[in-house]
Amino acid sequence: MPRSPARCCLSIAAALLPLMASAADDDRPVADSEGSGWRVLGEADFVNVNCLPDTWTWTAGGVHCTGKPVGVIRMKEPLTDFELTLEWRHLSEGGNSGVFLWAPPEALESIKPGQLPRGGIEVQVLDHGYTAKYEKSTGKKATWFTTDGDVFPVGTSSMKPFPPVAPDGRRSFPSSRHSRGTPEWNHYHVRAVAGEVRLSVNGHEVSGGAECRPATGYLCLESEGAPVEFRKIRIRELPAALKE
């Protein structure tokens, strides 16, 4: 028996609901055509700095990190002006990781397993459970960090953070909260141009800083004690015409 037009419309609408919900949930910014200088990063683009051979396991879609030991892998070539997009998720509550930008070569020299770069701008990758974990282990209130996308200089590097600023004046705290807890995926868009860093979390610009020194160096992925995964890692280096 043929269905009425009204029933057909209702059936079509019902079929589209999952797709509409998926689109609404996916608030990641879309790169302006993957042909505009964007390229996918994979195992061939990185070298191990001070992790174990099995710390990082690459697949067709991304990379799994055991979190042990603490350390980093870095891109083979240094970067100056670029945009980066990636997705990440922690696999345990309270996981800790990060992405280092502009880590100078000397900051990576001779660092041993268990150590992090001595310079660079870190884009924090923290699970929400890290706050309770920190407060329980230290007995102190977690006032000097957040779990929604802090950006800050490490070691010998410097940066003028965008407000809101952490109590110590070094970290840029996120202006709004958009990070998702484990095991959900998060999308980061990083724009690092002319000494300025801007971070967008799940489609919302939240933190960053200016006057970064140095403003050239290596991009690193961080292993810091907990299993984490990165996928859909894409980058485009920006010639002068695309910096505005």
Q: What is the CATH number of the domain that holds 26?
A: 2.60.120.560
pLDDT digits (tens, 9 = 90+) for 198-232: 999 999 999 999 999 999 999 999 999 999 999 99
The answer to whether the CB of 131 falls within 8 A of the CB of 142 is yes
By the 10 Å C-beta count (0-12 exposed, 13-18 middle, 19+ buried), 168 is classed as: exposed
Mean of all residue pLDDT scores within the chain: 88
pLDDT of residue 243: 57
pLDDT of residue 36: 83
- What beta strand segments (E) does 24-112 contain? 39-40, 46-48, 56-58, 62-65, 71-75, 82-90, 96-103
pLDDT tier for residue 244 given thresholds of 50, 70 and 90: low
Backbone conformation region of residue 124, classed left if phi is above 0, alpha if psi is from -120 to 50, else beta: beta
Average pLDDT over residues 113-141: 98
Percent of all residues in the chain with a pLDDT value above 70, rounded to a whole number:
84
Is the model's pLDDT at 19 over the cut of 60?
no
Token reading at 154: 């490490």
Closest CA to 188 of 98, 128, 110: 98
Closest CA to 28 of 167, 188, 168: 188
Is the model's pLDDT at 12 over the cut of 70?
no
Closest CA to 129 of 179, 98, 94: 94
Interstrand relation of 71-75 and 204-213 (parallel, antiparallel or unpaired): unpaired
Stretch (H or E) spanning 229: strand 228-237
One-letter identity of residue 184? E
Q: The domain containing residue 46 runs over which residues?
A: 5-242
**Does residue 60 sit in helix, strand or coil?**
coil
Token reading at 4: 């009425």
Is the model's pLDDT at 173 over the cut of 60?
yes
Cα 176 to its chain centre, rounded Å, is 16
pTM of the model: 0.85
DSSP track, 170-183? --B--SS-----TT
- Number of structural domains the chain divides into: 1
pLDDT digits (tens, 9 = 90+) for 40-52: 999 999 999 999 9
